[in-house]
Amino acid sequence: DGGITQSPKYLFRKEGQNVTLSCEQNLNHDAMYWYRQDPGQGLRLIYYSQIVNDFQKGDIAEGYSVSREKKESFPLTVTSAQKNPTAFYLCASAHRGPAYEQYFGPGTRLTVT
Amino acid sequence: KQEVTQIPAALSVPEGENLVLNCSFTDSAIYNLQWFRQDPGKGLTSLLLIQSSQREQTSGRLNASLDKSSGRSTLYIAASQPGDSATYLCAVLSGGYQKVTFGTGTKLQVIP
């Protein structure tokens, strides 16, 4: 089955700890995206990558870091510098063709206490 | 900076009614516009994608239109059903690095 996997589904961390969220896709898509969603709000772009070894900051990149060493993987690290990390995190990928349609993973709900 | 707005924020309709959801964007130089559905606690499901050169797309009871010059898109849902209850989000792809900007969503409730 082709798709996007995010693990784990739920993640709990203590304040001050860094945590890495996994995102893997087997759709052979070039572009990958990380979003954050807070209750009752839309999605805000954290980081995105169009090709391997290249990525751009989105609207709310402060306190986050990413890497894109492999085409199929785009892990997101939430660092201790992120002031309010508790949120629902969504990963997406897209083929860089005429349509550029995004496909989303199931999300990871991160709770930091 | 691209800004995307969705109106209304919430909508409640009786089953069987036809309805329209609105999405507006500030920068008309877009690559595409995509409509999504999100169920509570879940990821997003793509409904329709309209490329910049297209005016509309249809899938079953759904029809999405795009007017770049006015910065507007509408999602038309015919003969609404309780299973259509969800949050509907629009997203615009624009800019040199194909950045995506989402609207805040419309929460739809279809009452049996």
> Whats the size of chain A, residue-wise?
113
Question: Does the beta carbon of A39 lie under 8 angstroms from any beta carbon of chain B?
Answer: no
Those residues whose C-beta lies under 8 Å from the C-beta of residue A78, and which sit 6 or more positions away, are A18, A19, A20, A21, A63, A64, A85, A110, A112
Query: Over the stretch A2-51, which tens digit does the pLDDT of each residue have?
Result: 699 998 999 999 999 999 999 999 999 999 999 999 987 789 999 999 99
Average pLDDT over residues B12-19: 97
Chain B residue whose CA is closest to A58 = B99
Task: Please tell me the predicted confidence (pLDDT) of residue A40.
Answer: 74
3-state secondary structure of B29: coil
pLDDT exceeds cutoff 70 at A1: no
- The Cβ of residue B104 has, within 10 Å, a number of other Cβ atoms equal to 17
pLDDT exceeds cutoff 80 at A63: yes
Choose among B37, B49, B46: nearest CA to A100: B49
Choose among B108, B94, B69, B46: nearest CA to A105: B46
Distance from the Cα of A25 to chain B's closest Cα (Å) equals: 15
Q: What mean pLDDT value characterizes chain B?
A: 94
- Distances from the Cα of A109 to the Cα of A8, A38, A39, B75, B95, angstroms: 8, 10, 11, 29, 29
pLDDT exceeds cutoff 80 at B96: no
pLDDT interval class at B48 (50, 70, 90): very high
Selected for mutation to probe chain B from A51, A104, A108, A110 (highest B CB count within 10 Å) is A104
Share of chain B above pLDDT 70, in %: 99
Distance CA B69, CA B67 (A): 6
